[in-house]
Structure 1
Amino acid sequence: MDASEQRVVEELDALSTVPRLAGFAGRMIGWLDTLFTTLATLALVGIAGTVLLQIAGRLVLPFSPAWTEELSRYLFIYMVALSAGVVIRQHRNVNVELFHHWLGPRARAAYQALVCLLMGAFALIVLPYAWQYAANGAWQTSPTLKVPMLYIFFSTVVLFALVVLYSAIGVVEGLLAMCRKPSQADTEAP
């Protein structure tokens, strides 16, 4: 990304200016980002293939597979669960940006740390209940695929665990950015 593209992204998303972790931790987090993005993308491709099979089944085949709707629904659930953490890390979750561009670098970092702390705290509170919810699925199977619903309900555990993990990363990045020595770029007007 060249300098003009970077400036446009920063103007659109003020929190993207908060520095990310570097070094070994940054590489590990980047690897996790790639892993979960790839898994979510595979789920999306699976949804597309399943829906195309359903359409072909209705138009061309003498029968329409009944399991395609159920599988596409489960893939969609896992796509959302697997991408939740990366969405937090890239600041792509739904928010209202009324005042972000007015904040200085340290205030943006503090804001990121606060928001991530609140999201992570909520997810940490809900996580045990998500586990209980997933355990309820051990005694049930899906209607057409006959898959134990434990695997489907486990998506809630994955979702909230990733929100806790990526929120903790956001808090650490925000706190480190607040404590670091200001650079020349930070002293310029936002």
Structure 2
Amino acid sequence: MDPNHKVAEQEALEQLDPLASVPTFKGALGRLIGWVDTLFTVLAVLALVAIAGTVLLQIAARLFLPFSVSWTEELSRYLFIYMVALSVGVVLRQHRNVSVELFHHTLGLRARAVFQVVICLLVVGFAWMVLPHAWQYAMNGAWQTSPTLKVPMLYIFFSTVVMFALLLVYGAIGFLEGLVAIFRSPERPDAETP
């Protein structure tokens, strides 16, 4: 890929998402986090593809079979829940969650890093408070089974634990990246001016 194209792509991304200009971890730690991001992205995409396959199977069964397949609706719902739970950390890290951006573009690099630190600290605090309750909620499903698939609901309710654990980990990563960006001298002096 052309280096000029990479620079233009980064500038366009920063205009669309001002918080993307806060530098992320580099080196071995950055590569490890990137691999983990890729893993959870692939798992979420696989869940989405499975949802599409399940819904297509349900449609085909209604059109071409004399009976309906009753478990497809339930499976697609559980796959959707896990798709969201598995992708929530990557969405947070890439700043792709729904947000109102009124003033982000006017901030300098350090102010954006401070903003990221505050947001990630709030996310980590919330996830830390909710995670024990999510665990209790998951344990409530230990003696229940789903209506048509007969899967222990523990596995379904455990998606809340996965989601809040990923929010906790990815929030901590974003917090640390923001702290590093605050105290590091800017790599690009022009990024400091709004």
TM-score, normalising length: structure 2: 0.95
Aligned pair in 2 of structure 1 residues 141, 184: CA closer, same or farther (>3 Å)?
closer
Seq. identity, %: 69
How far apart in 2 are the matches of 1:162 and 1:36?
Answer: 10
Matched, 1:5 2:17: no
Alignment of 1:19-98 (within 5 A): 19-98=23-102
How far apart in 1 are the matches of 2:92 and 2:34?
Answer: 13
Indicate conservation of the 8 Å contact 1:105/1:186, yes or no: no
How far apart in 1 are the matches of 2:191 and 2:55?
Answer: 52
- Cα root mean square deviation, aligned: 1.1
TM-score, normalising length: structure 1: 0.97
SS of the equivalent of 1:21 reads: coil
**Structure 2: unaligned runs, 5 residues or longer:** none
SS of the equivalent of 2:148 reads: coil
How far apart in 2 are the matches of 1:129 and 1:40?
Answer: 24
Question: Can you list the C-alpha shifts for 1:100-146, whole angstroms capped at 9, x where unaligned?
Answer: 01110000001001100001100110000000000000010000000
2:178 aligned to which of 174, 177, 182 = 174
The match for 1:189 is 193
Tell me the number of residue pairs that the alignment of Structure 1 and Structure 2 aligns: 190
State the 1:14 CA deviation: 0.2
**Structure 1: unaligned runs, 5 residues or longer:** none
Q: Which runs of 4+ in 1 moved over 6 A?
A: none
2:168 aligned to which of 151, 164, 168 = 164
How far apart in 2 are the matches of 1:28 and 1:182?
Answer: 24
